[in-house]
Amino acid sequence: NAGVTQTPKFRVLKTGQSMTLLCAQDMNHEYMYWYRQDPGMGLRLIHYSVGEGTTAKGEVPDGYNVSRLKKQNFLLGLESAAPSQTSVYFCASSYSKDNNYGYTFGSGTRLTVV
């Protein structure tokens, strides 16, 4: 099915380890976003991209890096994981920034840092 695919779905990391979360969309969307979801906090924007080769910081970018080398892929990296990064991570994409369009979300990556 067309949509947004996130890998992996689950991961446990030790403090200080690094990892990359992959988001892939096959809808030719220009805009892509990474959010984290924590209990009682809703969704907070980490980084986003408005097109291939572009990235920008959101509300909570510290400790994360991103890359958008291909239009269909948006990678989120943790260079040195910390317990505070234990969360559920969602990727989303959108056709444009036009108000009329919502987002298509992936099913999430549940990350635990011990």
Partner 1 sequence: GNSVTQMEGPVTLSEEAFLTINCTYTATGYPSLFWYVQYPGEGLQLLLKATKADDKGSNKGFEATYRKETTSFHLEKGSVQVSDSAVYFCALRRGSTLGRLYFGRGTQLTVWP
5-64 positions binding partner 1, by CB under 8 A? 31, 33, 40-43, 45, 48, 50, 56, 58
Q: Which of 100, 111, 112, 113 binds partner 1 (CB under 8 A)?
A: 100
Q: How many C-beta atoms lie closer than 10 Å to residue 60's C-beta?
A: 17
CB 2 within 8 A of CB 101: no
Cβ proximity to partner 1, 2 vs 40, nearer residue: 40
CA quadruple 93, 68, 9, 2: dihedral, nearest 10: 40
Which spans of this chain sit near partner 1 (rule: CB under 8 A)?
4, 31, 33, 40-43, 45, 48, 50, 56, 58, 90, 92, 94, 96-108
